[in-house]
Amino acid sequence: AQKITQTQPGMFVQEKEAVTLDCTYDTSDQSYGLFWYKQPSSGEMIFLIYQGSYDEQNATEGRYSLNFQKARKSANLVISASQLGDSAMYFCAMRDLSGGYQKVTFGIGTKLQVIP
């Protein structure tokens, strides 16, 4: 069974500093995808970044990068130059790509607060 673990219920970061949100996953599958989503207080889930299990390079999207360490089964999100608008819940998720179901499993999230 797939499992996503986010061990940081809440994080604070000073504006303009970088912050790392932790995510570890557990799967026996070889083919999978890893995602990060942002959920502001409005509730909408905003896609941030994707990493495939066979991608050798870490994914980057603007100020977001995914620190993918396959052997450790970790997929940490790094946000550089934090902005006040980054304050939100952040969810790590994984999709199993090897079967027909291809379900996405979500972690319980980390609440990030950016301090002016």
Partner 1 sequence: DGGITQSPKYLFRKEGQNVTLSCEQNLNHDAMYWYRQDPGQGLRLIYYSQIVNDFQKGDIAEGYSVSREKKESFPLTVTSAQKNPTAFYLCASRRLAGGVDTQYFGPGTRLTVL
Name the residues that contact partner 1, by CB under 8 A: 4, 33, 35, 37, 42-47, 50, 52, 55, 91, 93, 95, 97, 101, 103-104, 106-109
Return the number of the residue (22 or 55) whose C-beta is nearest partner 1.
55
Tokens 């319980």, residue? 108
Shortest gap between Cβ of 102 and partner 1 (angstroms)? 8
Which residues have a Cβ under 8 Å from the Cβ of 42 and sit 6 or more positions away?
none
Report which of 88, 96, 93 is spatially closest to residue 114, judged by C-alpha positions. Answer: 88
Return the number of the residue (18 or 96) whose C-beta is nearest partner 1.
96
Return the number of the residue (12 or 47) whose C-beta is nearest partner 1.
47
Return the number of the residue (15 or 60) whose C-beta is nearest partner 1.
60
Shortest gap between Cβ of 12 and partner 1 (angstroms)? 18
Shortest gap between Cβ of 116 and partner 1 (angstroms)? 26
